[in-house]
Amino acid sequence: MSERDWIVGQIRERLLFYRSMTELGFERRAVAAAPVEKVEPSVPERAALSRETLVEVRADLGDCTRCVLHEKRTNLVFGVGNPSADLMFIGEAPGFEEDRQGIPFVGPAGQLLTKIISAIDLSRDDVYIANVVKCRPPGNRDPEPEEVEECRSFLDRQVDAIRPKVICALGRVAALNLLRTDEGITRIRGRIYPYRGAKLVPTFHPAYLLRNPEKKRECWQDMKLIRRLLDGQSS
């Protein structure tokens, strides 16, 4: 066999091979790198990517002088706890010990709150604790509406950064300011309200429970409701 005949034979065999592959449903394709498809993130993924952190919120708050409460404070009390907590507690304002230490709920009311949290099989490290306002009002008075409004955006940004499943509003001042209602705490406690993607349950403030221990039974009912919500039950 001449070299020419060998080459023609190789070409014929290659052509027969490609024809048989085509008949079986395969197509010859040029070898090239597959283009990389750009996948746009979904809406939840975009929200997660743009999610502000507590560190960023705290940095923006800075050494706040936005209202008169800064004039007599010792420490700004931002919040403490798990930045990804399923449960967030919101009180009204720092007290004496909170102002001194810069940590929310560390006085006698805070000690009771720790026991309440433990009663639903959680610890302070599992939850996040903050207040409606970040500075102690003089004489532990209720914060004024304008003081609450100055802190409101930062509190809401804390909620948005944490994305808790459940929020427990501790006491009249916290509940009324968060829900923007005039109803008393005894009327609204134990109910479920929507708040920035979470389920908000108002209950009595631990300081109130120290003065009125007979109300602890009602608070316990509220905490059992919160436990059920955390466990995925509707109520």
Residue 38 belongs to some domain of the structure: no
Position 74 scores a pLDDT of 97
List, run by run, the mean pLDDT of 10-residue segments along the chain (235 residues): 52 53 45 44 47 96 97 97 98 97 97 98 98 97 96 98 98 96 94 98 98 98 98 87
Position 51 scores a pLDDT of 81
* CATH code of residue 193: 3.40.470.10
DSSP the chain: --HHHHHHHHHHHHHHHHHHHHHTT-------PPPPPPPPPPHHHHHHHTPPPHHHHHHHH-S--SSGGGGG-SS----EE-TT-SEEEEES---HHHHHHT-SS-SHHHHHHHHHHHHTT--TTTSEEEESSSSPPGGGPPPPHHHHHHHHHHHHHHHHHH--SEEEEESHHHHHHHHT--S-HHHHTT--EEETTEEEEEE--HHHHHH-GGGHHHHHHHHHHHHHHHTT---
Residue 83 belongs to some domain of the structure: yes
Provide the number of structural domains found in the chain: 1
Residue 3 belongs to some domain of the structure: no
Residue 14 belongs to some domain of the structure: no
Residue 86 belongs to some domain of the structure: yes
Position 39 scores a pLDDT of 47
Position 9 scores a pLDDT of 55
Residue 179 belongs to some domain of the structure: yes
Residue 31 belongs to some domain of the structure: no
Contact 179, 147 (CB under 8 A): no
Position 198 scores a pLDDT of 98
Position 235 scores a pLDDT of 75
Range of the domain at 182: 44-230
pTM attached to this predicted model: 0.79
Apex 214 CA angle, 117 and 218, nearest 5: 50
Residue 66 belongs to some domain of the structure: yes
Position 185 scores a pLDDT of 96
Alpha carbons 39 and 50: distance in angstroms, whole number: 17
Position 108 scores a pLDDT of 96
